[in-house]
Structures are given as C-alpha cells and as structure tokens.
Amino acid sequence: MPAFSFVQPSTTDEALAALRLGEPGETMIVAGGTDVLFGLEGRRIPLKRVVSLRHLPWKTLSWAGESLRVGSTLPLRTLESDPDLRRRIPGLWQAVRAVGSVALRHRATLGGNLGRSSPASDLIPILLALDSEVDIVGMEGERSLPVDQFVRASRTTALGPGELIRSVAIPEARPSAFLWQRVRPANDISQVGVAVAYSPSQKGWRIAVGGVVPRPVLLPQAERLLSGPFPGAAELRAAAQEASMRAPFATDRRATEEYRRQLVATLLQRAVRAVGAHPSSPGVP
C-alpha cells in the first residue's frame, strides 16, 4: 500500500486543521483504531493520511448532577469501569459490556461507534433511549444534535466535512436496560438489541431497537403504550406487539426478519421488567 502520513493532533484546532488537508476521501479519522486496518483495504481513493485523535483531550468522563458527559475518545473500558455507571445508568453499562471483548474495549470509543453508525451497533440503541446528544466541533464552530438526528445509515451520519464528534451528553441518568440476542453470546454481532429507559423527568419510556435497517431507531408508538414506570403484563404485551410490527427489520445472514420480530417482542418485555427489578428503580417517582 502506498505510504500515507500519520497525523496526531493534540488540540482541537490542530485536529480540525488536519481535516482540511487534501481532497475528500483521502483522509481517515481514527479514534480507538479498531477499525482502521479494515479501512485501509479496498479503497477507491488512495489513502493519503490518517488522523489519529488519540492525543486530544477528549478522554473525559464527568458527572454533573443527573447528567453525564463522555468524551468521544474515551476508551469504552474506562467508561465501563466508572464506579457509578452501573448503578446509575445500568442500560449503558450493559451496552458497553456487550461490545466486543475487553481488549477491543481498551481502544474502542463512543465516538468511533457513533461515527461508524452500524445498524447492529450495541451502543446506539441505548444512546437513543437516553436522549443523548452528540457534541460536534468544526471549523464553523460547535453544534449539538440528538443522536436520533445524528445517525442516518451505515457509515453515514450528519457529520459534515471537517467536523468531529467531541463528546456525547447524556442528560439524565435513567433506570434502563439493554438486552440483546446473538447466535453466539460473546464476541459476536447482535441479531437484535433492545434498549429501554424510563425518564423520571418526562415520566415516560424510551424504547430503541438495534439490528434494524438502515439504523437503530426509537419506537414511539410502542413507548406510548406503556403508562407509568411499572407497566402491567397486558401493556407490555401490547408494546411488544407494536415494536414487533414497527421495527424496520430485514433478513440478513445473522437472522431472518421473522425471527427478529419474535426476538424484539420478547427482549422488550424482559428489558422493561429488568428495569423495574433493578435496585436503582425504587428511585423512580
């Protein structure tokens, strides 16, 4: 492969300047770097530079009251190891634990996962259910977008040229759960992932599904069928049925559409019950 240059900015300005170098398609941005080698193969436009975000001061994690802000290049393992995460936002902890393996999570990042925007992402559903916001920087300045508007399709996001994800804001620590199903339990891509979160402030549920096309989605029609923090069996079944009908599944090599519809109904009910059963839930007003 022809040589490319390796650029390692240490400030935001340096990073944004690096993105303006060269022609579109010649530059690859690397956060955790677990996908970088796959990005070197089969390119239509030869790679001229790799911009590594590793030295940027974006490996932050800060709680402010109920909200959490996670830097986009913080390794997932570090997020997972936060002493408060599992207790306060269990769904996010479960989702992070679901990603790859420990060695992968020592490098993989939220920013990388969002940028990759895979329909099978294990992180995007919970970020949707938490009403997370993506904090973006570019030459034009900063802006913030809900995750739901940020992800569009596989490898397609609302990031404009010259923009980078700086952090992800989770406005409210919610009782939540993330359940998934795979052919093989560990180190596999999920067939279906269901993230649920109850918002104490909005007094409502959020339900998001992964393993759909073209990208993970929220299911407001199913959400509306759940009244209150401890839905009864009939409501759960109705919401599950709605999710099963509404979620845009397709058949691929991991599962048929039919099976996915069966899975989402089951996982949704179990996830909501898991939230109700979680030690943190008595805090739900």
Partner 1 sequence: MTFTVRPDADAKLRGQVAFATDLSVPGMLWGALVPAPVARGRIRSIDLGPARAIDGVVAIGPTDLARLLPSATGDAERPVFPTDRIQYHSQPLAAVAAPTRELARRAARAVRVDVEPLPPLEEIEGFDPAHPGPDRPEVIAHVLARHGDLDAAFGSADFVLSETYRTAGVCQVALEPHACIAEIQGDVWHVTTSTQTPFGAREDLASMLGLPEERIVVEGTWVGGAFGGKGAPLVEPYALLLARASGRPVRLALSYREEFQLGRTSLPSVVRIESAVKGGRITGRRVHWRLDAGASLPGRDFTTGYAIGFILGPYRIPAIEMEGYAFRTNKPPLGPHRAPMAPQCVFAEESHMDHLAARLGVDPVAFRRSHVWKEGDFTHLGQKVGPFGLDRCLERAGALATTWRKDAAPNTGVAVGVGFWSTVTGAGGEARLVLSPTELKIIEGEREIGSGSVIRGIVAVAETVLGISRDRVRVDYHDTRSAPFDSGVFGSRTLAALGQAVQKAALVLRDELGKRLSVPADSVQLTEENGELVAVSGRHRESIRSLLTETELAAGGLTSEGRHYGTSGEIDTARVVEGTFYPYTDFTGAAHVAMVKVDPETGAVRVTRYAAFQDAGKVVDLPTAQGSIEGGVAMGLGTALTEETTWAADGHLSNAGLLDYRIPTLGEIPPIEVHFVEGFSGAGPYGAKGLGEPPIIPVPATVSNAIFAASGAAMTELPMTPERVARALKLL
Partner 2 sequence: MTASPARLTVNAVPVDLTTVPVGERLLDTVRWRLGLKGTKEGCRTGDCGACTVLIDGRSVLSCLTLTHEFTGAAVTTVEGLEGDPTGARVRAAFEKEGALQCGYCTPGFVVALTSLLKERGAEASAEELAEDLGGNLCRCTGYAAIVRAVRRVHGEMP
Partners of residue 197 on adjacent β-strands: 176, 206
Closest approach of Cβ 116 to partner 1, in Å? 15
Distance from C-alpha of 268 to C-alpha of 95, rounded to nearest angstrom: 15
Q: Which tokens belong to 93? A: 């902890």
| Binding test (CB under 8 A) with partner 2, winner from 27, 52, 118, 167 | 52
189, interface contact from partner 2, partner 1, none, CB < 5-8 Å by kind: partner 1
Out of 149, 187, 202, 227, name the contact with partner 1 by CB under 8 A: 187
Is 258 a residue that touches partner 1 (CB under 8 A)?
A: yes
Whole-number Å distance between alpha carbons of 107 and 126: 20
Site track 260-279 with partner 1 (rule: CB under 8 A), x = hit: --xx--xx------------
* Candidate segments 100-108, 222-230, 252-260, 265-273, binder of partner 2 by CB under 8 A: 100-108
Phi/psi at 71 (5° precision): -65, 145
Report the residue number, 39 or 171, with the smaller CB distance to partner 2: 39
Q: What is the rounded distance in angstroms from the CA atom of residue 231 to the CA atom of residue 214? A: 30
Minimum distance, C-beta of residue 275 to partner 1, in the bound complex (Å): 18
Q: Which of 188, 214, 241, 276 contacts partner 1 by CB under 8 A?
A: 188
Contacts of 214 (CB under 8 A, 6+ apart): 119, 152, 153, 154, 248
- Judged by CB under 8 A, the stretch of 65-73, 102-110, 159-167, 257-265 that binds partner 1 is 257-265
Is the torsion defined by CA of 263, 266, 272, 276 positive or negative? negative
Q: Residue 100 — left, alpha, or beta (φ > 0 → left; ψ -120 to 50 → alpha)?
A: left
Is the CB of 107 or the CB of 261 nearer to partner 2?
A: 107
Binding mask 173-212 toward partner 2 (x if CB under 8 A, else -) reads -------------xx-------------------------
CB of 194 to partner 1, least distance (A): 12
Q: Is 186 in the site for partner 1 (CB under 8 A)?
A: yes
Label residue 241 exposed, middle or buried (CB < 10 Å: 0-12, 13-18, 19+). Answer: middle
> By the criterion CB under 8 A, which residues form the site for partner 2?
1, 3-10, 14, 18, 30, 33-34, 36-37, 40, 50, 52, 54-55, 75, 77, 100-104, 106-107, 186-187
